[in-house]
Amino acid sequence: MKDDDAASLEFRQLTERSLRENKIGALRAMALGLDKDDLVLTPADARHWSQGLNDLRLVLAERLDIRDDADAEHVHLMQDWSQAEDVESYLALVYNFTTWLQESLVQAMLQAMGSRA
Protein backbone atom coordinates (compact mmCIF):
# COMPACT_ATOMS: atom_id res chain seq x y z
CA MET A 1 0.00 0.00 0.00
CA LYS A 2 2.82 2.41 0.83
CA ASP A 3 4.39 1.76 -2.56
CA ASP A 4 1.10 2.70 -4.23
CA ASP A 5 0.93 5.94 -2.25
CA ALA A 6 4.53 6.79 -3.10
CA ALA A 7 3.98 6.00 -6.78
CA SER A 8 0.82 8.12 -6.82
CA LEU A 9 2.63 11.03 -5.23
CA GLU A 10 5.52 10.75 -7.68
CA PHE A 11 3.15 10.58 -10.65
CA ARG A 12 1.26 13.62 -9.41
CA GLN A 13 4.48 15.58 -8.96
CA LEU A 14 5.51 14.73 -12.51
CA THR A 15 2.19 15.58 -14.16
CA GLU A 16 0.51 18.24 -12.04
CA ARG A 17 2.39 21.23 -13.45
CA SER A 18 1.76 20.39 -17.10
CA LEU A 19 -1.88 19.59 -16.36
CA ARG A 20 -2.36 22.99 -14.71
CA GLU A 21 -0.55 24.74 -17.56
CA ASN A 22 -2.82 23.04 -20.11
CA LYS A 23 -5.94 24.03 -18.16
CA ILE A 24 -4.76 27.63 -17.82
CA GLY A 25 -3.84 27.71 -21.51
CA ALA A 26 -7.31 26.56 -22.54
CA LEU A 27 -8.98 29.16 -20.33
CA ARG A 28 -6.64 31.86 -21.65
CA ALA A 29 -7.50 30.91 -25.23
CA MET A 30 -11.19 31.21 -24.38
CA ALA A 31 -10.69 34.62 -22.78
CA LEU A 32 -8.78 35.90 -25.81
CA GLY A 33 -11.54 34.67 -28.10
CA LEU A 34 -14.16 36.56 -26.13
CA ASP A 35 -12.42 39.85 -26.93
CA LYS A 36 -13.18 39.46 -30.64
CA ASP A 37 -16.24 40.93 -32.35
CA ASP A 38 -16.79 37.73 -34.33
CA LEU A 39 -15.79 34.43 -32.79
CA VAL A 40 -14.72 31.84 -35.35
CA LEU A 41 -12.94 28.80 -33.96
CA THR A 42 -10.25 26.84 -35.74
CA PRO A 43 -10.08 23.13 -34.89
CA ALA A 44 -7.30 23.91 -32.37
CA ASP A 45 -9.38 26.74 -30.86
CA ALA A 46 -12.37 24.41 -30.63
CA ARG A 47 -10.29 21.86 -28.68
CA HIS A 48 -9.16 24.58 -26.25
CA TRP A 49 -12.73 25.79 -25.82
CA SER A 50 -14.01 22.26 -25.29
CA GLN A 51 -11.34 21.63 -22.65
CA GLY A 52 -11.96 24.97 -20.95
CA LEU A 53 -15.72 24.52 -20.90
CA ASN A 54 -15.30 21.03 -19.46
CA ASP A 55 -13.07 22.33 -16.67
CA LEU A 56 -15.50 25.16 -15.98
CA ARG A 57 -18.40 22.68 -15.76
CA LEU A 58 -16.43 20.50 -13.34
CA VAL A 59 -15.80 23.47 -11.05
CA LEU A 60 -19.46 24.52 -11.21
CA ALA A 61 -20.61 20.94 -10.58
CA GLU A 62 -18.42 20.82 -7.49
CA ARG A 63 -19.77 24.15 -6.24
CA LEU A 64 -23.33 22.96 -6.88
CA ASP A 65 -22.61 19.63 -5.15
CA ILE A 66 -23.69 17.57 -8.16
CA ARG A 67 -22.98 13.96 -7.17
CA ASP A 68 -25.54 11.90 -9.07
CA ASP A 69 -28.27 12.06 -11.72
CA ALA A 70 -30.84 13.37 -9.24
CA ASP A 71 -28.57 16.30 -8.35
CA ALA A 72 -27.97 17.01 -12.02
CA GLU A 73 -31.70 16.91 -12.76
CA HIS A 74 -32.39 19.35 -9.93
CA VAL A 75 -29.84 21.78 -11.39
CA HIS A 76 -31.16 21.25 -14.91
CA LEU A 77 -34.63 22.38 -13.82
CA MET A 78 -33.28 25.89 -13.23
CA GLN A 79 -33.85 27.40 -16.68
CA ASP A 80 -35.18 30.92 -16.16
CA TRP A 81 -33.19 33.90 -14.91
CA SER A 82 -36.34 35.23 -13.24
CA GLN A 83 -36.31 32.14 -10.97
CA ALA A 84 -32.81 32.90 -9.64
CA GLU A 85 -32.91 33.95 -6.01
CA ASP A 86 -29.51 33.04 -4.59
CA VAL A 87 -25.94 32.25 -5.58
CA GLU A 88 -26.73 28.57 -6.10
CA SER A 89 -29.52 29.28 -8.56
CA TYR A 90 -27.32 31.69 -10.53
CA LEU A 91 -24.55 29.08 -10.60
CA ALA A 92 -27.09 26.54 -11.83
CA LEU A 93 -28.03 28.84 -14.70
CA VAL A 94 -24.36 29.33 -15.62
CA TYR A 95 -23.83 25.56 -15.38
CA ASN A 96 -26.78 24.91 -17.70
CA PHE A 97 -25.59 27.51 -20.20
CA THR A 98 -22.05 26.13 -20.11
CA THR A 99 -23.41 22.62 -20.65
CA TRP A 100 -25.44 23.78 -23.65
CA LEU A 101 -22.45 25.64 -25.07
CA GLN A 102 -20.15 22.64 -24.67
CA GLU A 103 -22.69 20.25 -26.21
CA SER A 104 -23.19 22.60 -29.16
CA LEU A 105 -19.44 22.92 -29.67
CA VAL A 106 -18.83 19.17 -29.50
CA GLN A 107 -21.68 18.59 -31.95
CA ALA A 108 -20.13 21.10 -34.38
CA MET A 109 -16.71 19.45 -33.95
CA LEU A 110 -18.18 16.02 -34.71
CA GLN A 111 -19.95 17.36 -37.79
CA ALA A 112 -16.71 18.97 -38.99
CA MET A 113 -14.89 15.66 -38.53
CA GLY A 114 -17.61 13.85 -40.48
CA SER A 115 -17.44 16.30 -43.36
CA ARG A 116 -13.67 15.80 -43.64
CA ALA A 117 -13.95 11.99 -43.77
What digits encode the pLDDT tens for the residues 38-77?
889 999 999 999 999 999 999 999 999 999 999 999 999 8
Amino acid (one-letter) located at 27:
L
DSSP state of 37: S
CA within 13 Å, CB half, 46? 15
Instruction: Tell me the CA distances in angstroms from 100 to 72, 97, 104, 116, one per residue in order.
Output: 14, 5, 6, 25
pLDDT attached to residue 19 = 85
Number of domains in the chain: 1
Domain that holds residue 72: 2-116
